[in-house]
Each structure stands twice: as C-alpha cells, then as structure tokens.
Amino acid sequence: MAIKKYNPVTPGLRQKVTVDYSELTKVKPEKTLLRKLTKTGGRNNSGKMTVRNRGGGHKRRYRVIDFQRGKEGMSAEVMSIEYDPNRTAFIALVQYTDGEKTYIVAPDKLKVGDKIMSGDTATPDVGNALYLSKIPLGSSIHNIEMTPGKGGALARSAGTYGVLMGREGKYAIIKLPSSEVRRVLLTCKAVIGTTSNPDHGLKVLGKAGAKRWLGRRSRVRGVAMNPVDHPMGGGEGKASGGHPRSRTGVMAKGQKTRNTKKYSSKLIITRRKK
C-alpha cells in the first residue's frame, strides 16, 4: 500500500501525508455487521470529565469483528477489503460456504477472491487461523490469542506481527511487536501473516483540525501550566519543569507500572525494550 502526498494548495495540505486507499474494494460496510457506537467525550455517568482532551470527532459505527475464528474446517471467501474507522488495520469481509458473513482483521497481501480457513485442517497460508501447536516455527503471525477460545488479543494493529520462535512443553514462545518474548499456550490460535496497512505509521495529519476529526482536543503541556495545575508547572521563563511526570504525579520515565504480583509475569521470558 503506497502513501499519498499533496500539492500545497492550502497550508493544511503542505505537510499532509495519507495512505492511498485505492486498494480498498468497498465503500459502504455490511449493514448486518454494524452496531451503534456512542461517545462519552471523556465524561463518566455523572457528567464529570475524567479523561481530558477528548470530545467531538466524526460519528462512527462499530464493525463486529470475528477475533475467535471459531468456524473450523469450513472455508470462507474474501468478499471485500474495507476501511474501519475504529482501528488502524483494514478489515476483510468474508463469506463462509454456509452463507454466513463476518469481518476479520485483514492480513497484508490478502486479495478479494482468496479462500481462508480455520482449525486443524487449515494449511499455514496467509489469512488462515491455526493453533500454535500446528504453526511452523519462524512464521509471522498476528491476532494471537492469550486465552484459548477468547479471541485474538495480540498484534492486531496496522503492520504488526509476532514471530513463533519455539515450543516449550505446553507453551509456545512468541516474540511480540514490542520485542517482548513470552510464553503462550499451544492451544491458543493465531493467524498467519502480518496485519494490513503497514504504511499507517507514515501518515502525517497536516493540521490541527484533522486531529479534531478523530475526537481529540488540544492538549496543554505541563511545563506551560502553573504549579497549582501540574507538578511540572511554574518557574521563571521557559523552565524545564523537573522530572517528566503526569498531572497526577505518575513518573513518565523509569517508574515501573506493572504489578509485580501479576500471575502472567512468570510467562514473560524477556521484557520489552524501553
């Protein structure tokens, strides 16, 4: 998927870089797989703002995605590759031989008309969902389950993938996009290939209004505030503000935030690089 630059006919287009969506094959989504999506604007049930810098944005509808890939042994044909405003990767509309239609996270290089399958009888081809015990070592995988049958949870955003490095007893050893190496049960599923839209990270919004379309409001830097408003505020002139931290005092660099007593810590072999 290529990227698209614009002639600077307006100030907002001068720096703008977007993904070329010409490979997408359908404009309107499948109506039966749409759900209502309400916005909170960062407010809780009593109307108090609990998350700042949120609000506005274009209205969206949720696309129901099949992360479980539970219809095993039945092939499905790819009907279209579509844009999803709720995620960075593209989605694919597939239709099974029994007529049921579902959305899946589209793997890179998946085309309309391709056949995909899930389960023990599936071959290790792009788009097929297999158990980790059946996937060849060294394969690139995405939409990786952490709990058997719960659905894919890891490596779902645009252009990401994990690598199956080995097997150890009842666990598979997977290197994740964050560079973390961890164990995952062999009875969990994963999809072969990398996720679509790998050029997403090259996008440049070009103007502040494009950020507002995404539902994000402007954010004031902590060092620009007064001491009463932020731990990094105050000082004469352009003071650095001290150690980087959040408005509530949580350190931004160096402080460990993971619970040391978390049960899954024993499954992590190598922590992610900082």
Q: What is the pLDDT of residues 118-166, one digit of tens each?
A: 999 999 999 999 999 999 999 999 999 999 999 999 999 999 999 999 9
- Domain covering 3-40+55-201 assigned CATH 1.10.287.3510 in the classification: no
**pLDDT of 229:** 94
d(CA 67, CA 104): 7
Pick out the chain residues at pLDDT < 50: none
Token pair of 178, please? 């964050």
**Domain regions of the chain by residue span:** 3-40+55-201, 219-268
> Is the pTM value of this prediction over 0.85?
yes
**Partners of 152 in the β-ladder:** 145
**Partners of 82 in the β-ladder:** 91
CATH of domain 219-268: 4.10.950.10
Domain 3-40+55-201 and domain 219-268 have a common topology: no
CB under 8 A, 24+ apart: contacts of 94-100 = 96/71, 98/74, 100/71
**pLDDT of 1:** 61
Among 147, 162, 208, 175, which residue's Cα sits nearest to residue 12?
208
The DSSP annotation for the chain comes to --EEE---SSHHHHS-EEE-GGG---SSPPGGGEEE----TTB-TTS-B-SSSB------EEEPB--S---TT--EEEEEEE--TTSSS-EEEEEETTS-EEEEEPBTT--TT-EE-BSTT--S-TT-EEETTTSPTT-EEESEESSTTT-EEES-STT--EEEEEEETTEEEEE-TTS-EEEEETTSEEEES-BS-GGGGG-B--SHHHHHHTTB-----GGGS-TTT-TT---SSS---SS-B-TTS-BSSS---S-TT-GGGGGEEEPPP-
Q: Is the backbone of residue 252 left (phi > 0), alpha (psi -120 to 50) or beta?
A: alpha
Token pair of 149, please? 């049958």
